[in-house]
Structure 1
Amino acid sequence: MPTLPIQINGKTYRIACEDGQEEHLVRLGQYVDHRCRQLLSSVGHVHENLMFVMVSLLIADELSDVSAELHDLRKALGAGPDEDGDGPSARELAEEKLARVIERLTSRIEGIAEGLERT
């Protein structure tokens, strides 16, 4: 099991990962570091433990939003066609919602990528 040096907030941490997961771990570390720098730029210096708690909560909030969106999509895709045939089917509504979610996620990913490129 390899261990990699991951740098977050100017400090290096040696983190173990499964074989083949090295690139993924590096990307995750870069994302956490990026979020730490974003937080510090908006709130100023805070104790390192508090910073990690705050960043963890921000990332958990993002995960919660995505999880809720996924739940809503799964629920909508499981619904049957429109009962009276006048409006769009549940599947059409779900596809529209999926397109909006994909657009929001794409924007988030592009923002993260831009932030990582600046470092």
Structure 2
Amino acid sequence: MPEVNVEINGRKYRMACEEGQQQHLIGLAERFNTHVEALKGAVGEIGDNRLTVMAGIAVVDELAEAERRIKALETEVVVLTRAGQEVASEIEALEGRFASKLSDAAKALEGVAGVLDEAAILPG
């Protein structure tokens, strides 16, 4: 199993990961370290453990907000999908009515054409 070295709050940690996930793990560690450094800048030196816990809570808070937004977007997708299906059904019904009216008009024109043909054949 591959191992990578990451740095969090100035300390290096050796971590194992799945093959091919090395860069992903390094990126996650860098992202987490950004939270730690931002908190350290905001609250000062408060101890490694407390700082790490606060950064972890901040990350989980972001995750919870992202999950809330995903749920809202999923709900919106369902609503829009239903609306799209309703519009498609309405269009299909309109096309059916249009085809029926067009067929009726064609029959009427055929009837008129038949009458005209008969009038042309009959001697006047």
Smaller-chain TM-score bracket: 0.5 to 0.7
TM-score, normalising length: structure 1: 0.66
Ranges in structure 2 where 5+ consecutive residues have no aligned partner = 88-124
Residue 76 of structure 1: aligned partner: 76
Q: 1:33, CA displacement in angstroms?
A: 1.0
Residue 94 of structure 1: aligned partner: none
Ranges in structure 1 where 5+ consecutive residues have no aligned partner = 86-119
Residue 118 of structure 2: aligned partner: none
Q: Aligned-pair RMSD on alpha carbons? A: 1.5
- Which has the larger share of helix? 2
Q: 1:46, CA displacement in angstroms?
A: 0.9
Superposition pairs of residues 1-119 of structure 1, within 5 angstroms: 1-79=1-79, 80-81=82-83
Stretches of 4+ moved more than 3 A in 1? Answer: none
* Residue-by-residue CA offset, 1:20-56 (whole Å, 9 max, x unaligned): 0000001011111111110000000011111111000
> Aligned to 1:27, what secondary structure does the other structure show?
helix
Structure 2 residue identity aligned to 1:17: C
Task: Give the Cα–Cα distance (whole angstroms) in 1 for the partners of residues 36 and 75 of structure 2.
Answer: 34
Structure 1 residue identity aligned to 2:15: I
Task: Give the Cα–Cα distance (whole angstroms) in 2 for the partners of residues 37 and 2 of structure 1.
Answer: 27
Task: Give the Cα–Cα distance (whole angstroms) in 1 for the partners of residues 53 and 5 of structure 2.
Answer: 21
Number of aligned pairs?
83
Q: 1:67, CA displacement in angstroms?
A: 0.6
> Aligned to 1:81, what secondary structure does the other structure show?
helix
Between the aligned residues of both structures, percent identity stands at 30
TM-score, normalising length: structure 2: 0.64
* Residue-by-residue CA offset, 1:88-118 (whole Å, 9 max, x unaligned): xxxxxxxxxxxxxxxxxxxxxxxxxxxxxxx
